[in-house]
Amino acid sequence: MSETILKVQGVSKRFGGLQALSDVGIEIRKGQVYGLIGPNGAGKTTFFNVITGLYIPDAGTFELGGEPYKPSAVHLVAKAGIARTFQNIRLFAEMTALENVMVGRHVRTKSGLGGAVFRTARFKREEAEIAARAKELLDYVGIGKYAEYKARTLSYGDQRRLEIARALATDPKLIALDEPAAGMNATEKVVLRELIDRIRRDGRTILLIEHDVKLVMGLCDRVTVLDYGKQIAEGTPADVQKNEKVIEAYLGAGGH
């Protein structure tokens, strides 16, 4: 069996009187696409926010690539090797597509602020390499021709792909996609599906929150289902779909 990339155990998170997550754990192996699904308010985004250092959990242990890690701050999590996209796209709107991806790559560069201020030879060489790599990534996600366009001028689907390119630029062990198909039309979803499949084939590991059940069932190797902060099922898409608790949770929530 392939190596474990992410192992999370016993995650709990409370907001005032609301138990948003209770004792949630997942294990993702290298090369898997792992789905996190559940009705609205089930705790999916909270779980993402915990593992990516946006929320401090009340309990939980975390291992990334076999090493313990503490998701205490977003930049440290990115350095440790988890990159994410957001449900509500978070790009630098006034920067070009290329610059947005270059920002992602800076997580892995060596020249510090001093290099940037004094524009050392090493800094300039590194910048040129970063730009070249960023362009490659834009081509990879299929929006290379928009490299010099401001992010805000791209279509919704292309902005989502740009977010994926930026996440890939950090060279992550795990890429976490928060509802990547939200707001996409059917054609865009097909293209997205192909892209996620390609990212997996190229050896990456993906954690995915997604409402589009068809996309989840078609793409994911394993799925965890949350409901009211509790993990009610874990397994292959086929197993999970047959699970009574899952059927009930979805029907109870209006069957979305």
Ligand X SMILES: Nc1ncnc2c1ncn2[C@@H]1O[C@H](COP(=O)(O)OP(=O)(O)OP(=O)(O)O)[C@@H](O)[C@H]1O
Interface residues with ligand X (CB under 6 A) are 15, 18, 20, 38, 40-46
The two structure tokens encoding residue 71:
């998701």
Residue 31 three-state SS: coil
Which ranges in the chain belong to alpha helices (H)?
44-51, 74-80, 97-105, 113-118, 121-141, 156-169, 186-201, 213-219, 237-242, 244-252
Q: How far is the CB of 230 from ligand X (least distance, A)?
A: 12
DSSP state string for 193-233: HHHHHHHHHTT-EEEEE-S-HHHHHHH-SEEEEEETTEEEE
Q: Among residues 182 and 191, whose Cβ is nearest to ligand X?
A: 182
Nearer Cβ to ligand X, position 42 or 97?
A: 42
Least Å distance, CB 192 to ligand X, is 18
Residue with smaller CB distance to ligand X, 98 or 246: 246
Instruction: Give Cα 23 distance to the centre of its chain.
Output: 21
**Closer residue to ligand X (CB): 38 or 60:** 38
Shortest Å, Cβ 100 to ligand X? 24
| C-alpha distances in Å from residue 59, one per residue of 11, 70, 230, 243 | 5, 11, 14, 28
Long-range contacts of 139-142 (CB under 8 A, 24+ apart): 140/165, 140/168, 140/198, 141/165, 141/168, 141/195, 142/191, 142/195
Least distance (Å) between residue 229 CB and ligand X: 7
122 φ/ψ angles, rounded to the nearest 5 degrees = -65, -40
Nearer to ligand X, 84 or 133 (CB): 84
Q: Which is nearer to ligand X, 43 or 172 (CB)?
A: 43
Query: Residue 108 CA to chain centroid, in angstroms?
Result: 18
CB of 50 to ligand X, least distance (A): 9
Q: Which is nearer to ligand X, 82 or 98 (CB)?
A: 82
- Cα separation, 225 vs 45, in Å, equals 13
Q: Closest approach of Cβ 91 to ligand X, in Å?
A: 19
- Residues 74/158, Cβ–Cβ less than 8 Å: no
Rounded least distance, CB 178 to ligand X, Å: 8
